[in-house]
Amino acid sequence: MAFAASDEDAKDTASESCEPCMSYCKEITATVYCLDCDEKFCEACGNCHKKSKLSKDHKLSKIEEAPPSHVVHLMKELTTCPNHQAEEVVYVCVDEDKLCCNQCANTQHRQCKRLDTIEQYMTNPTVTNPTERIEKKKTSTTRTNWNQQFKLQDTNMCEEYVKKTVDSNESIMAKLNEFQSQLQGIIAHEISQRAFVEENSKCVSNYLEIVHAKFESAFNTLQNELIVQSEQQTKDLLRKISNQETSAADLCDQVKRDQENMNAIKQHGQEKHIFLLSRKMSGTLKDIETKTQKLEREKTKQKIKVVERSSIDGIVRSISTALEVKQKK
């Protein structure tokens, strides 16, 4: 037991130690976290990291403000090229509406007319050259005024797109909340329907007991047939309810995960991560909507009920085939 405690303490110490220093067998407490490298540094190593040409633009934060590991994984997943796992996405191919890395740009997209960096696309997703929009104004103003107008318009355009990105993020969250509410309603309905269906199945036996007094001699055959039907249809309904309930719960869990990811990226990610996640979520929302609509259409509404196909007197004469159990909405 003592060894186990010691190992655990060592593990905790290692997890909060400066990683470069540990490679030199030094245990120095980490105070800084690099999101781009997913690495912890002490103050001295962190300062060196910020001064290095290769890492001077990396995003550093205090160790206690570092995002959870699953958020780091999500942000890396968003920026990883789908075709080349070792590369990060750098461009948006406007012609094919696809994300691509440097390798993609030099191979599959060499013939494409417009490749924007993600940063360019985020600030201006629809116009190839922003100066074209104000070219006509150029002749009527001085170069100084024109440059001022261009900078102002470019700034306004960036601010407008950032606002649209935030609005899109909020719209996605609102849609996820709507799906969550709808799915929770479906789950509540199926739970209520389960009790109702289970209670209904008992009515078959009760009904048969009432009829039994009139045709006891032929009742055994009929009873066996109806009980089989009742159990089978009850089993079918309960199976359907379980499937509906499980599907809705799984989809609800997915919605919750997507909500957590949206909030986490909004809190810890950059505008690029928010843009990429919003882009990814557009397809996810359609999938959730399709599945939710299918669950809504297939809500369990059937009831188990004995249907009299003939009068009681007729049942006495043809008891073996007179009754059947059906599901009714």
Q: What does the pLDDT look like over 167-218, one tens digit per residue?
A: 778 888 999 999 999 999 999 999 988 888 887 777 788 887 787 777 677 7
4 pLDDT higher than 60? no
Phi, psi of 29 (to 5 degrees): -60, 130
* Segment holding 138, helix H or strand E: helix 135-138
The pLDDT of 34-52, averaged and rounded, is 92
Q: Which residues pair with 39 in a beta bridge?
A: 34
Q: Which residues pair with 17 in a beta bridge?
A: 29
271 pLDDT higher than 80? yes
- pLDDT of 160 reads 63
How many beta carbons lie within 10 A of that of residue 121, not counting itself?
Answer: 21
Helix, coil or strand: residue 220? helix
Cα(329)–Cα(198) distance, integer angstroms: 15
Cα(71)–Cα(263) distance, integer angstroms: 10
- For the record, the structure tokens of 149 come out as 């107008």
Higher pLDDT, 67 or 129: 67
Q: How would you classify residue 97: left for phi > 0, otherwise alpha for psi between -120 and 50, otherwise beta? A: left
- pLDDT of 161 reads 55
Helix, coil or strand: residue 159? helix
Phi, psi of 88 (to 5 degrees): -100, 145
Read off the amino acid at residue 318: S
- pLDDT of 49 reads 94
Closest CA to 37 of 25, 26, 52: 52
Residue 66 makes CB contacts below 8 A (sequence gap 6+) with 33, 35, 40
Counting residues of the chain whose pLDDT is more than 90, the rounded percentage is 36
Query: Over the chain, what is the mean pLDDT?
Result: 80
What's the full length of the chain, in residues?
329
Cα(315)–Cα(307) distance, integer angstroms: 12
Per-residue DSSP letters for 172-196? Answer: HHHHHHHHHHHHHHHHHHHHHHHHH
Phi, psi of 236 (to 5 degrees): -65, -45
Helix, coil or strand: residue 308? strand
Q: Which pLDDT tens digit goes with each residue over 86-138? A: 899 999 999 999 999 999 999 999 899 899 998 888 876 554 443 343 343 34
Tokens 């919750």 belong to: 256
